[in-house]
């Protein structure tokens, strides 16, 4: 009798497990497809949103005295940028151009060698 009860319970457990597995197998592909669609949609919208966020942050941020000095030095070396104290795309582009022209590592960052070449301390 004990063996019969175990067999029945095992069968019920197997059936219940099968139902749970079947349900999860049906739901997962749907969720995966929805997630993939959402990822595609968000990937196409990220670029403009990032650009807008950067402009918004630059408007709220205070100008940096350091970047204003770097920009002033770049202008003195011939760069056509504004010395506004913000390290935006134009400043980075001018900095990379200066680094290339002076045979420095063109990183767009102000390292020790770039500071020296710009005459900054």
Q: Which is higher by pLDDT, 87 or 42? A: 87
Global pTM value: 0.53
With H, G, I as helix, E, B as strand and everything else as coil, classify residue 5. helix
Residue 48 to residue 111: CA distance in whole angstroms: 30
Q: How many CB atoms lie under 10 A from the CB of residue 92?
A: 14
End-to-end CA distance of the chain: 91
**Looking at residue 8, what is its pLDDT?**
47
Residue 79 to residue 58: CA distance in whole angstroms: 21
**Looking at residue 46, what is its pLDDT?**
56
Residue 33 to residue 56: CA distance in whole angstroms: 34
Q: Is a pLDDT exceeding 90 seen at residue 102? A: yes
The 10s digit of each residue's pLDDT in 47-96 is: 577 777 767 766 667 889 999 999 999 999 999 999 999 999 999 999 99
Model confidence band, residue 120 (pLDDT cutoffs 50, 70, 90): very high
């Amino acid at each position: 009798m004990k063996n019969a009860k175990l067999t029945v319970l095992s069968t019920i457990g197997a059936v219940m497990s099968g139902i749970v597995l079947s349900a999860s197998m049906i739901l997962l592909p749907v969720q995966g497809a929805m997630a993939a669609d959402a990822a595609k949609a968000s990937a196409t919208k990220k670029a403009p949103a990032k650009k807008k966020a950067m402009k918004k942050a630059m408007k709220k941020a205070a100008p940096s005295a350091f970047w204003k000095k770097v920009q002033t030095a770049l202008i003195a070396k011939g760069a056509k940028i504004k010395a506004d104290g913000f390290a935006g795309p134009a400043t980075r582009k001018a900095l990379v151009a200066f680094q290339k022209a002076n045979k420095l590592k063109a990183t767009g960052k102000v390292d020790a060698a770039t500071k020296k070449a710009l005459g900054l301390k």
